[in-house]
Chains A and B, each alone.
Chain A
Amino acid sequence: MDLNFSAEDIAFRDEVKAFLKENWTDQDRKDMGNGLSMDHDMPVRWHRKLAAKGWAAPNWPLELGGCPWTSTQKYIFDIETANANCPRLISFGLNLVAPVLYTFGNEEQQKKYLPSILSGDTWWCQGYSEPGAGSDLAGLSTRAELSDDGTHYVVNGQKTWTSTARYADMIFCLVRTDPTAKIKQQGISFLLIDMKTPGITVKPISTLDGQQHVNDTFFDNVKVPVENRIGEENMGWTYAKLLLTHERTGIAGVARSKNRLSELKIVASAEPTGTGQAPLIEEPTFRAKISQIEIDLMALEITDLRTLAGVQKGGAPGPESSILKVRGTEIQQAIAELFLESAGYYCQPFVQDTHWGSYEGEMIGADYSTSTALQYFSTRPATVYGGSSEVQRNIISKAVLGLKFK
């Protein structure tokens, strides 16, 4: 056991730092704003730069464009990029559909889709949830019927909460192909659908953080070529399950939370306490809250590294990786809440667009304070999407602790 970086790791860190210095300028950081707006341009800009260096998809198999990094090196990369305020890459293509493609897709599909995912040229979105199928994903009812000549499916139904669907070129969907199947997990197929296909309508949904990231996606007699199906018909659930475990890792967001926490400390050093006499960070109650988060985060960081090391030895992350999702999102929420608290009365003004890096209007109060409420609201869904905290706890209780429930 050793917590220290090896000489190779230090050399690697210097390489990452040098790359960032060249490729992620002060202007880029400024354009990011506070990162609330998961707009199209910033992640794509960053994705292309990483792709040019061969660093866009560290987790992919080497021969497809992955990186020969150890888990420590992946960790170093995450920390350095988070500290530089780089955007998170949009994971739908890179981390969600790609593993399904290279694990279950046929050669043709792999050739057709993987290169443009790697380069950042195709934008994917995830069509899983439906109004009636959220936590109980297998309850989905979007219907796909095979045409008589067997050349295509006709898809009808509605997906919802589809993040970034408005930018997407492609959507990967779970659809019901056999409504008569005895068990609802059977009878589901995995389809790749071109968003430009006639019959698809996307309707944005406004959320509490003032954004419209999520959408309703409607399918009205949408024709999907049969070669766009992954693997076998009615076996989609098996493929999707793999994807769900991938969705669970990386969601701990330790590097980003560490970075946010250090920003919080800076902000709270500039704000006064309730009585105005000292910096807020010196107020015992406030400092206790920051310290508690920091301690939770220290523990999570090591839990994360232990999980990563386990994966590196072989195998997918086990059900205990749900810890990362549960704790990681709670920490993100707690940090956002302290930013809000730090802003005091100035969390109240609502100024449209202040969270965009390009916002040039006047701020109200301190620069950071105006968007703290929106940021706080934007962290609330983190315990809902990607398997809610309740569902993650169910997974741990069933699959790790062996507890049964009726």
Chain B
Amino acid sequence: MDFNLSEEQTMLQDSVSRFIQNSYGFEDRKKYIAADNGFSAENWNMFAELGWLGIPFAEEHGGFGGGALETMMVMEEFGKGLVIEPFLATVVLGGGFLSKGGTPVQQEQLIPSIIEGKLQLAFAFVEPQGRFNLADLTTTATASGDGYSISGHKGVVLNGPSADKLIVTTRTSGDQRDESGITVFLVDANAAGVSRRNYPTIDAMQGSEITFNDVKVSADDIIGELNNGLPLIQSVVDDGLLAICAEAVGAMEVLYKTTVDYSKQRKQFDVAIGSFQALQHRMVDMFIEHEQSKSLMLLAAMRLAEGSDEASKAISALKVQIGKAGRYVGQQAVQLHGGMGQTEELNVGHYFKRLTMISHTFGNADFHLNRFGEL
């Protein structure tokens, strides 16, 4: 057993951490959000230059050859700054599909562009009726000519507005909730028949409702296996779960520390509010929740990295913990800041918003409690 980072990992962590400290203050972040596409193109280019966009990709494609641990480290640091650039959508999810299921042609064509920061991706998998069930699909891809025609609606597609290409889960055979009969397609976001309704999300990201109306794709656009896409989808979503949970761990660290600092400074009744034991114990619990979350995060990342059969179970355990901890830490941070905690002008509420949204992404705590029991 070894919980230490390698030298290379330490360097990566330091460089991301420095970036957050130097360039991702609360005011900086506001400017990034206000930019045209809802994040900073300049930051994105810098991520490319620093090699961060290549972290999970194989060296043969120009990547860093990293895995779950490296993604985890980056996302944890990103969580501390509430980074809004679409690393999750483009690199972790989009890139994950290509690495794990892409054809050699797809990989050669697209992965280098991701690494250079020139390609944006979005994963279109949510359907209003399906809630957290990845297999509940009414979007269909039916054979048409030598290819397929996709029709349906995908909701809450993160990074939808900026995406050049969409990764779309479809039903190619079977019934609405069958585990087989699912196929993943790569679809040009500007293809005829694709229409997007874009909006910001509660936590200052960008999302879209996307309608596919008889969108033509070819058999070469299939990622992974025809009619057997679910295992690939589940595997990429597990990577995504690790990424957002790591982000949550970073966000919680900031929240408990900020709250402790505030409680030492804020005086009421002629003493620092941090001297009230009722509040001290609350902050201790915030700290404990963060530590417990971090432990499960490391466990899940190591299980994923070694390709263990236990990985999905560890991921679900982590998501349950993040649901519980994110809620507690977020709510208490807001509460202990009193009126200030409710305001847009303080960063605390923004961490709370992000944690709240994370807990409803890729299955909430209840969903994963169930999955944990079943695995």
Restricting to B315-368, which residues have a CB under 8 Å from any CB of A?
Answer: 331, 334-335, 338-339, 341-345, 349, 352-353, 356-357, 360-361, 363-364, 366-367
Cα distance A351–B198 in the bound complex, in angstroms: 10
- A341 touches which of B136, B156, B343, B360 (Cβ 8 Å): B360
- Residues of A close to B268: CB separation below 8 A: 133-136, 139
Q: How large is the interface on B (under 10, 10 to 19, 20 to 34, 35 or more residues)?
A: 35 or more
- Which of B88-96, B124-132, B251-259, B300-308 forms part of the interface with chain A? B124-132
- Nearest-neighbour CB distance to chain B for A395, whole angstroms, equals 13
Given A134-B338, A286-B366, A383-B335: A348 and B344 interface contact (C-beta under 8 Å): no
| A348 and B335 within 8 A (CB) | no
Count chain A residues whose beta carbon lies closer than 8 angstroms to a beta carbon of B.
54
| B343 and A207 within 8 A (CB) | yes
- Residues of B close to A208: CB separation below 8 A: 334, 342-344, 349, 352-353
| B360 and A273 within 8 A (CB) | no
- Residues of B close to A389: CB separation below 8 A: 335
Cα distance A350–B207 in the bound complex, in angstroms: 9
Restricting to A264-280, which residues have a CB under 8 Å from any CB of B?
Answer: 271-277, 280
- A344 touches which of B132, B197, B342, B345 (Cβ 8 Å): B132
Cα distance A271–B366 in the bound complex, in angstroms: 15
Residue of A nearest to B359 (CB): A341
Cα distance A21–B197 in the bound complex, in angstroms: 40
| A271 and B339 within 8 A (CB) | no
| A276 and B344 within 8 A (CB) | no
Q: Report if A27 contacts B (CB, 8 A).
A: no
Q: Report if A68 contacts B (CB, 8 A).
A: no
- Which of A146-154, A168-176, A309-317, A373-381 forms part of the interface with chain B? A373-381
| B155 and A274 within 8 A (CB) | no
Residue of A nearest to B361 (CB): A345
Kindly supply a per-residue 1/0 record for chain A positions 365-378, scoring 1 wherever the CB is within 8 Å of any chain B CB and 0 otherwise.
11000000110110
| B339 and A134 within 8 A (CB) | yes
Cα distance A276–B367 in the bound complex, in angstroms: 11
Cα distance A366–B197 in the bound complex, in angstroms: 15
Q: Report if A9 contacts B (CB, 8 A).
A: no
Q: Report if B29 contacts A (CB, 8 A).
A: no
Q: Report if B215 contacts A (CB, 8 A).
A: no
Q: Report if B369 contacts A (CB, 8 A).
A: yes
Cα distance A207–B353 in the bound complex, in angstroms: 12
- Nearest-neighbour CB distance to chain A for B61, whole angstroms, equals 31
Residue of B nearest to A390 (CB): B278
- Residues of A close to B129: CB separation below 8 A: 272, 276
Q: Report if A160 contacts B (CB, 8 A).
A: yes
Residue of B nearest to A132 (CB): B267
| A345 and B269 within 8 A (CB) | no
Q: Report if A349 contacts B (CB, 8 A).
A: yes
- Residues of A close to B361: CB separation below 8 A: 345, 348
Residue of B nearest to A391 (CB): B268
Cα distance A340–B130 in the bound complex, in angstroms: 16
- Nearest-neighbour CB distance to chain A for B177, whole angstroms, equals 6
Q: Report if B202 contacts A (CB, 8 A).
A: yes
Restricting to A130-181, which residues have a CB under 8 Å from any CB of B?
Answer: 132-136, 139, 160-161
Q: Report if B199 contacts A (CB, 8 A).
A: yes
User: 28 A-B Cβ contacts within 8 A?
Assistant: A129-B339, A136-B269, A205-B343, A206-B343, A206-B344, A206-B345, A207-B343, A208-B334, A208-B344, A214-B342, A271-B131, A272-B133, A274-B131, A275-B133, A275-B136, A276-B177, A277-B177, A285-B366, A285-B369, A344-B132, A348-B360, A350-B202, A365-B155, A373-B353, A373-B356, A384-B342, A389-B335, A390-B278
Other contacts beyond A207-B342, A207-B343, A384-B335: 10, CB < 8 A:
A134-B339, A205-B343, A206-B344, A275-B132, A341-B366, A344-B364, A364-B209, A381-B342, A383-B335, A384-B342
